[in-house]
Structure 1
């Protein structure tokens, strides 16, 4: 069976629109698990009503009155999911043909047994063009109309085998509410010997709604902090050094961060317990032309 996982917070209208797209599904039975990170269950009844007449979707709603954030929230759903393939979607996306999307997910995993994760082709909902920051490769000049092996996936749309979570582990819980969790898990997926495939023909359109998000300044801070935590956890010394320098300069000059923030974060990452990836995993990343200096 296949499981669809969605976390929602502060995006009532966007969520309902996303669920309406999913409700068009008409294939083999699937389950949809929704974690509502809001304080109350006020969304529950309307969500249940959306799927009331769709016999192919088993809808499961969860609300503990707590905002678990991204990593802890996904882990919550992963542990409850019954499927052997888990498709994770953001709560503010459009999918023009969910039946075709899920069939393609299943076909790819059947065709490529060593592929542990699929990175979807994520485009801007409004322009229908690629979202630069949601292209799952450091090189943005590649041909993204073709499939290729990559070294990380994007949170807004991806699929991972349940067995891969069991082998590589779940999302890290030391990154706070947001940022870097996909990169962290991607390192462990590669280290466990699985491939990550970018699938150009599995397309979703992301609204990147500002609702339910951190203020921009706070988001920039956590992106910087968590990038360094993840890179210092898994990369060899020379790449940790270059990453710390380059990301610090970027945060100070482009994001207008403060020196005190940079010093505090560098002191924090010095205490990170490292789990350096193997030479084989690093070689594999280099063969993909991965961005490894930062």
Structure 2
């Protein structure tokens, strides 16, 4: 039996509607050198009824809820491809995704890889604004798959792949969430494998969140970054500290406002104008307006999480699991 080149592994939790859109985009690929491994992570709203609707080799598994990382490991243990690919259920692939990926794989032969994400024209204005905040150079410093990469690239599990042999040597995702994807990337690099950014392998990532959920998400990202820097000494970068410096700077400017007749707020006004104009230039006027609060949420939420994690872990010396128990899944 000939094994497929790629195993597409997708964990899903109570998202059958999203899963249908994802499978639609896989069905519409210009080339299909893959199997689909769909891992239902203890959902109440199952996606099993979708399997027979597609002319694709789909292998469906249901397991208890142990988190997305462990679900991807579950899928890898059952996958048959030479490469394991991971997407989130809230992603949609352009029709030529595998065509472009396959070409890049043949050219550069990476051990592990990832690609950037973008907003689809059909996304809501809030989704587009959040996507801007998550990918803009002005808010993330270019560390999430942009062309101006400031750090060794750490693929994100919404668009990530690795060779089967890498999984067999390094192991899979850990029980931390979020943060399981950069954790795996660090272990892959430490084992001597090459991790590459495939700029052409773009996916559309819905980011099924509103501003309220977004601040909780980026807060967690800030917390996790300190944990990862503790686990992997030498991986800390100045760019990870910038949101915290932004947070402290905003607080200082607000405190100084009454003493400076409001002039201390001028830097914030300039930042607002910069973000709004840049987002407007690449999207629309309304997205430009919404990108301003999205960017402040991105920076302030991440900055607070990073600062809190620094205090708990490095100042007070607490263990990661004691300081932030909800960030670790119980696999028992």
Structure with more helix by fraction: 2
Q: Is residue 57 of structure 2 the alignment partner of residue 61 of structure 1?
A: no
CA–CA separation in structure 2 for the residues paired with 1:153 and 1:71:
14
CA displacement at 1:50 relative to structure 2: 2.2
CA displacement at 1:267 relative to structure 2: 6.9
CA–CA separation in structure 1 for the residues paired with 2:65 and 2:315:
28
Alignment of structure 1 residues 79-158 onto 2, 5 Å: 79-97=77-95, 100-113=96-109, 115-125=110-120, 126=123, 131-134=132-135, 139-140=141-142, 144=146, 150-158=152-160
Q: Are 2:113 and 2:197, in contact at CA under 8 Å, matched by a contact in 1?
A: yes
- Structure 2: gaps spanning 5 or more residues: 252-299, 321-332
Alignment coverage as a number of residue pairs:
258
CA–CA separation in structure 2 for the residues paired with 1:143 and 1:152:
8
Listed one character per residue, the Cα deviations across residues 105-146 of structure 1 (whole Å, up to 9, x for unaligned) are 333233223x21222121022377974535799642999469
Q: Are 1:132 and 1:140, in contact at CA under 8 Å, matched by a contact in 2?
A: no
CA displacement at 1:217 relative to structure 2: 5.6
Residues 208 and 269 (structure 1 numbering): CA distance in 2 closer, same or farther, change over 3 Å? farther
CA–CA separation in structure 2 for the residues paired with 1:8 and 1:199:
25
Bigger Cα Rg: 2
CA displacement at 1:224 relative to structure 2: 2.8
Residues 251 and 36 (structure 1 numbering): CA distance in 2 closer, same or farther, change over 3 Å? farther
CA displacement at 1:33 relative to structure 2: 0.6
Structure with more strand by fraction: 1
Residues 67 and 215 (structure 1 numbering): CA distance in 2 closer, same or farther, change over 3 Å? farther
- Structure 1: gaps spanning 5 or more residues: 273-294
User: Could you state the TM-score of these two structures normalised by the residue count of structure 1?
Assistant: 0.71
Q: Are 1:18 and 1:92, in contact at CA under 8 Å, matched by a contact in 2?
A: yes
CA displacement at 1:233 relative to structure 2: 0.7
SS state at 2:207 partner: coil
CA–CA separation in structure 2 for the residues paired with 1:123 and 1:231:
27
Q: Are 1:229 and 1:269, in contact at CA under 8 Å, matched by a contact in 2?
A: no
CA–CA separation in structure 2 for the residues paired with 1:76 and 1:134:
30
Q: Note the aligned Cα RMSD (angstroms).
A: 4.0
Q: Are 1:168 and 1:188, in contact at CA under 8 Å, matched by a contact in 2?
A: yes
Map of 1:189 onto structure 2: 188
Q: Are 2:16 and 2:45, in contact at CA under 8 Å, matched by a contact in 1?
A: no
Residues 257 and 228 (structure 1 numbering): CA distance in 2 closer, same or farther, change over 3 Å? closer
Q: Are 1:121 and 1:135, in contact at CA under 8 Å, matched by a contact in 2?
A: no
